[in-house]
Amino acid sequence: MNKNQFFLIGVLLASSASFAYAQTIQLTNGDSLTVEIIQQTNTTLTYSHTILGKQTVQKSAIRNLPELNLANINKVKEGAEGQSALELHGAQENQQIAQEEVTNAKKHLDITKKDTLLTTGVGIKAAEQKELAAGERFTTAEKNLVIANAALVAATTKLQTAQNVSIAGEQVSLATIELKQAQKDEKIAHKDLATAEKELDKADDNSEAKAEIKVETAENKVYSAEENVLQAKENLLLAENAVTIAKGEKVNDGFMGTGVFKDWDATIALGIKGASGTAVNATVRVGFDSRYEDKAHRWDFKSFYFYNSEDNVASEKQAHVALVKDWFFNGRPWFAYASTTFDTDKFKDWNHRLQVSTGPGYQFIKTETWEFSARAGLTGVFEFEKDLFDSAGTIIGQENNQNIEAMMGLDATWHITSKQRFTISNYIYPSITNGGEFRNLANASWIHDIDWFDGLAVKFGIRDEYDTNESIPNEFKYDFSILCRF
């Protein structure tokens, strides 16, 4: 039996295998389709049709479901695992088609090569053109096979991940049930203890010893129940961490594994520049940012300290701390916010400044790629030890100053990739107390996570503040920092 015969038999076997799974389904809308059923879940069937392609329908929409042969049809779970299994099936089909195309293209190339060797005279040029075209077809087929193999590996990995997540999710469900039962047992134990203590209070000399034993037994049960609750909470945490690991994500265990700032996206930033020689200069910028968000609210904390000196004499010395709290309204785009900002700067007209803001906000866009929101409200500004100038620009004293400002601002974040993001914001503060005066604060930053060191990133930031009330109205700073994320 030669290779062509083997190939023909293989094709016939493959065709017969496909035909064995070809079945006619009757839909409740009256349509009848002859399809190849690929896979099933508890509630759906996925099939392949020569015209419609791959389709998924509810089993409830199939009239002849009991008559179908589903015993040998792959059964998968609902959701991501089922979708991943379907993608793997498609990747396997594409890989098989690509492999067959490589085989056919190679055979065709071999034939054209032989024809070129046997052809003479005027036909040689046409034979060479056919060989060239066959070679290009073979090269393209090999490239497509490489792509198909990579897609197959990716689909296999994705299905394995989905299965691991599903298994870990089941453990979370079991741990949640155990925790609820442990908490229920704890309540019962506390109730039994309260009952035993009441009996002890009412006991006479004859029954006091027995009542004391009951109290002691109830206390032991309470202690045991409380221990079970703690253990159940730990088991639930481990199960939730297992889900995170199964997804390929990092478990958030707080700063340096201490649990502090757990579930917060926190970073420490450090930027240093210096010189020693004909001049001694130093620049230091240290920052700490932390952010937490859930369905009910969001906390955003930002701070930095900036110091610059020339010839050991400080030319800039600034500290900034800001805390913003947002309240969400059941998934609506509107939210409320309150913020507090404190600045200290020995080289400003004021030494210390406190700002308190409140108002509404609106989330225009919030996706995995883009975030865009706006805020408006009122701001109270309190400036302490603010310099007073005479007409010649000479400082003649200091005072504490208060000001009411309106506030309008925009925040935008572009998640360029999973490891890169760009943020920009601009807030304008028109003065209500002093008409015609205003402040404008703009910030921009680009952050890139470093691939070879988990938790480390680089940041380039720009900060510009313009205040018409200052003797030097504009302050522009840029910095390059190393971030440690935890």
Measure the CA angle with vertex 44, ends 41 and 49; round to 5°: 115
CATH 1.10.1200.10 fits 257-485, yes or no: no
CATH class for the region spanning 22-75: mainly beta
Core vs surface per residue 256-267: b (16+ CB within 10 A) or e: eeeeebeebebb
**Long-range CB contacts (within 8 A, 24+) of 254-258:** 254/486, 255/486, 256/486
Nearest of 241, 183, 265 to residue 455 by alpha carbon = 265
Nearest of 401, 410, 411, 464 to residue 431 by alpha carbon = 401
* 34 and 18 Cβ atoms separated by less than 8 Å: no
Question: pLDDT of 366-376, one tens digit each?
Answer: 998 999 999 99
Residues 6 or more apart whose Cβ sits within 8 Å of residue 479 = 271, 285, 306, 459, 460, 461
* CA distance linking residue 139 with residue 106, whole number of Å: 9
Q: If phi over 0 gives left and psi between -120 and 50 gives alpha, with beta otherwise, what is residue 261?
A: left
Nearest of 358, 328, 317 to residue 341 by alpha carbon = 358
* CA distance linking residue 264 with residue 268, whole number of Å: 13
- The number of beta carbons lying within 10 Å of the beta carbon of residue 291 is 14
Measure the CA angle with vertex 234, ends 229 and 239; round to 5°: 125
The dihedrals phi and psi of 87, each to the nearest 5 degrees, come to -65, -40
How far is C-alpha 59 from the geometric centre of its chain's CA atoms? 34
From first to last of its 486 residues, the chain has per-residue pLDDT tens of 444 444 333 433 343 333 446 899 999 888 899 998 888 888 888 888 888 888 888 989 999 988 898 888 878 777 788 788 888 888 998 999 999 999 999 999 999 999 889 888 888 888 889 999 999 999 999 999 999 999 999 989 888 888 888 888 888 889 999 999 999 999 999 999 999 888 888 888 788 888 889 889 999 999 999 999 999 988 888 888 888 888 777 776 665 556 666 678 888 999 886 666 555 678 899 999 999 888 899 999 999 999 988 877 888 889 999 999 999 998 899 999 999 999 999 888 899 999 999 999 999 999 989 999 999 999 999 999 888 877 777 778 888 999 999 999 999 999 999 889 999 999 999 999 998 899 999 999 999 998 877 778 999 999 999 999 888 899 999 889 999 877
Core vs surface per residue 452-485: b (16+ CB within 10 A) or e: eeeeebebebebebebebeeeeebeeebebebeb
Nearest of 47, 53, 12 to residue 27 by alpha carbon = 47
The dihedrals phi and psi of 469, each to the nearest 5 degrees, come to -90, -5
* 148 and 190 Cβ atoms separated by less than 8 Å: no
Nearest of 64, 62, 26, 27 to residue 43 by alpha carbon = 62
* CA distance linking residue 316 with residue 271, whole number of Å: 15
Q: Where are the beta strands (DSSP E) in 213-296?
A: 265-275, 281-293
Tokens 């229920």 correspond to 184
* CA distance linking residue 33 with residue 22, whole number of Å: 10
The dihedrals phi and psi of 251, each to the nearest 5 degrees, come to -70, 130
